[in-house]
């Protein structure tokens, strides 16, 4: 029997008209980047379907890993494929010559475990190759009849079968597979550009990063850290969260901003009731400076309307006002906490997010923060400070770490010591 392969159906990019080619090439580059660390794979796109073949399957090795209950190369590749944005569904399949008898035999042999487990089934066929001698219904009924003979316990149920056997006659070969799994959806990472995620140690911001990566943004993550008030474990937790976002977003550039001096200055020079909102304004200014430096096109936060005092319309306006050149995207703005938690669990971030380490936001937080701060009042408070110098110092002291998918991290160091910014790459990887 032929070797197994993976079929991935493209989602929205199939509708991209003239731009489709460039979306497809980013999608393939992202996929190859993911699979490279597992083995040698060939990824080809045809008729909005990507076929992934393993070129170094190492059959004995795989057999042994199977006996030991470990995932094979194909298992691992499939798992990766399910997290690559741009595909709507994924399925493992086998191919054979475009010949009716070969197709029947392959369906019975390859899908034998599922066919044995099912009580009802149906066959669905598709012909992309119109020169194939049978029509789709004729092929379905031929394969169905053959399977019925080989597995007499089965009965046909066209409305709600336990198993749908699918046959696809394509240009290259005929493929047989069972039901497909839903894949990650969205657009290929980097196809929409680059976004700078404000990443805290909470539940919300990793989900925001995941959602915007799904809309095709490559993600840089910026974290504000107030050492020694917030410790190394808190920083490490956020790095772990950046890695979790990276399981979907691929490579992530991770910036840690030294925020102690800004926060102490605000505590010492400004009225306490404005502390929270002023802190957030500084976060946005610094993040925007870092984003512009990296060639990113937007800021991303995990804010949701009304969730806390700083996320009221007035609070949001107060932070929007200081982002001078880039938009702030807030993908969670209309979601309830419950929805956000469901996403957080789905992407595997929840257990890490609830680890109990202090965030710098909780530091020096006033008992009675202003919920409706007036623009003039904020400007009056900030007039007591050298805002530009505080922003510049924080940016210069920011430490950049490259989190490359599936690899050890590389600490680049403080930005004041880094000559040129990490160039904006058109792909998920640099």
How many residues touch Mg ion (CB under 5 A)?
A: 3
Distance CA(207)–CA(163), nearest Å, equals 34
Query: Is 203 a binder of ligand ATP (CB under 6 A)?
Result: yes
Distance CA(428)–CA(405), nearest Å, equals 10
Question: Which residues in the 205-234 window bind ligand ATP by CB under 6 A?
Answer: 205, 222-224
| Smallest separation, CB 8 to ligand ATP (Å) | 31
Phi, psi of 203, deg, nearest 5: -85, -35
By CB under 5 A, which span of 100-108, 164-172, 356-364, 418-426 interacts with Mg ion? Answer: 356-364
| Smallest separation, CB 300 to ligand ATP (Å) | 7
Out of 49, 140, 192, 301, point to the residue binding ligand ATP (CB under 6 A).
301
Phi, psi of 34, deg, nearest 5: -70, -40
Question: Which residues in the 359-378 window bind Mg ion by CB under 5 A?
Answer: 359
CB atoms within 10 A of CB 1: 9
| Smallest separation, CB 63 to Mg ion (Å) | 48
By CB under 5 A, which span of 100-108, 113-121, 135-143, 193-201 interacts with Mg ion? Answer: 193-201
Which pairs with CB-CB distance under 8 Å and at least 24 residues apart come from 78-81?
A: 78/6, 80/34, 80/35, 80/38, 81/6, 81/8, 81/31, 81/34, 81/35, 81/52, 81/183
139 binds, among ligand ATP, Mg ion, none (CB under 5 to 8 A by kind): none
223 binds, among ligand ATP, Mg ion, none (CB under 5 to 8 A by kind): ligand ATP
By CB under 5 A, which span of 102-110, 125-133, 197-205, 248-256 interacts with Mg ion? Answer: 197-205
By CB under 6 A, which span of 116-124, 172-180, 301-309, 398-406 interacts with ligand ATP? Answer: 301-309
Question: Which residues in the 327-386 window bind ligand ATP by CB under 6 A?
Answer: 359-361
Listed in sequence order, the residues at least 6 apart from 52 whose beta carbon sits closer than 8 Å to its beta carbon are 5, 6, 7, 8, 31, 35, 41, 42, 43, 77, 81
By CB under 5 A, which span of 158-166, 196-204, 345-353, 376-384 interacts with Mg ion? Answer: 196-204
Of 202 and 250, nearer to Mg ion (C-beta) is 202
Query: Is 253 a binder of ligand ATP (CB under 6 A)?
Result: no
| Smallest separation, CB 251 to Mg ion (Å) | 25
Query: Is 344 a binder of Mg ion (CB under 5 A)?
Result: no
| Smallest separation, CB 352 to ligand ATP (Å) | 12
By CB under 6 A, which span of 59-67, 90-98, 149-157, 201-209 interacts with ligand ATP? Answer: 201-209
Sign of the alpha-carbon torsion through 407, 413, 415, 418 = negative
Out of 178, 202, 209, 315, point to the residue binding Mg ion (CB under 5 A).
202
| Smallest separation, CB 206 to ligand ATP (Å) | 7
Of 91 and 266, nearer to ligand ATP (C-beta) is 266
| Smallest separation, CB 201 to Mg ion (Å) | 7
Of 98 and 330, nearer to ligand ATP (C-beta) is 330
Pairing relationship of beta strands 87-96 and 41-46 according to DSSP bridges: unpaired
By CB under 6 A, which span of 45-53, 73-81, 198-206, 404-412 interacts with ligand ATP? Answer: 198-206
Query: Is 202 a binder of ligand ATP (CB under 6 A)?
Result: yes
Out of 51, 125, 192, 310, point to the residue binding ligand ATP (CB under 6 A).
310
Binding mask 27-56 for ligand ATP (x = CB under 6 A): ------------------------------
Of 29 and 244, nearer to Mg ion (C-beta) is 244
Distance CA(224)–CA(94), nearest Å, equals 49
Distance CA(266)–CA(277), nearest Å, equals 11
Contacting positions for Mg ion (CB under 5 A): 200, 202, 359
| Residues near ligand ATP, by CB under 6 A | 198-200, 202-205, 222-224, 283, 301-303, 307-308, 310, 359-361
């Amino acid at each position: 029997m032929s070797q197994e392969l993976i079929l991935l159906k493209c989602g929205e990019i199939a509708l991209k008209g003239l731009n489709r080619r460039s979306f497809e090439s980013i999608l393939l580059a992202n996929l190859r980047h993911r699979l490279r660390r597992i083995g040698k794979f060939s990824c080809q796109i045809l008729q909005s379907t990507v076929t992934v073949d393993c070129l170094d399957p190492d059959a004995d090795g795989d057999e042994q890993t199977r006996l030991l209950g470990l995932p094979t190369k194909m298992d691992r590749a499939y798992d990766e494929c399910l997290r690559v944005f741009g595909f709507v569904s994924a399925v493992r399949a086998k191919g054979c010559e475009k010949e009716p008898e070969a197709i029947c035999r392959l369906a019975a042999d390859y899908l034998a475990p599922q066919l044995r487990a099912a009580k009802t089934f149906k066959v669905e066929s598709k012909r992309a190759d119109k020169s194939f001698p049978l029509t789709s219904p004729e092929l379905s009924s031929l394969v169905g009849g053959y399977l019925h003979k080989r597995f007499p316990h089965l009965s046909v149920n066209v409305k709600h079968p336990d198993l749908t056997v699918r046959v696809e006659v394509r240009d290259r070969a005929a493929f047989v597979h069972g039901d497909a799994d839903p894949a990650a959806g969205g657009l290929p990472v980097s196809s929409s550009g680059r976004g700078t995620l404000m990443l805290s140690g909470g539940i919300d911001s990793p989900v925001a990063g995941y959602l915007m990566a799904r809309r095709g943004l490559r993600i840089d993550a910026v974290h504000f850290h107030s050492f020694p008030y917030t410790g190394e474990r808190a920083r490490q937790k956020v790095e772990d969260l950046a890695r979790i976002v990276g399981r979907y977003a691929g490579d992530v550039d991770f910036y840690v901003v030294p925020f102690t001096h800004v926060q102490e200055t605000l505590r010492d020079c400004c009225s306490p009731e404005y502390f929270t909102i002023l802190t957030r304004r500084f976060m946005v200014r610094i993040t925007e400076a870092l984003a512009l430096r990296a060639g990113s096109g937007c800021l991303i936060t995990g804010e949701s309307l009304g969730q806390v005092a700083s996320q009221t319309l007035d609070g949001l306006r107060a932070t929007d006002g200081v982002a001078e050149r880039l938009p702030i995207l807030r993908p969670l703005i209309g979601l309830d906490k419950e929805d956000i938690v469901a996403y957080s669990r789905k992407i595997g971030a929840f257990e890490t997010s609830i680890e109990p380490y202090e965030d710098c936001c909780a530091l020096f937080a006033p008992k009675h923060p202003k919920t409706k701060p007036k623009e003039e009042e904020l400007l009056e408070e900030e007039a007591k400070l050298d805002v530009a110098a505080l922003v510049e110092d924080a940016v210069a002291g920011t430490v950049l770490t490259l989190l490359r998918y599936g690899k050890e991290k590389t600490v680049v160091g403080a930005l004041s010591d880094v000559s040129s910014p990490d160039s904006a790459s058109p792909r998920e990887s640099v």
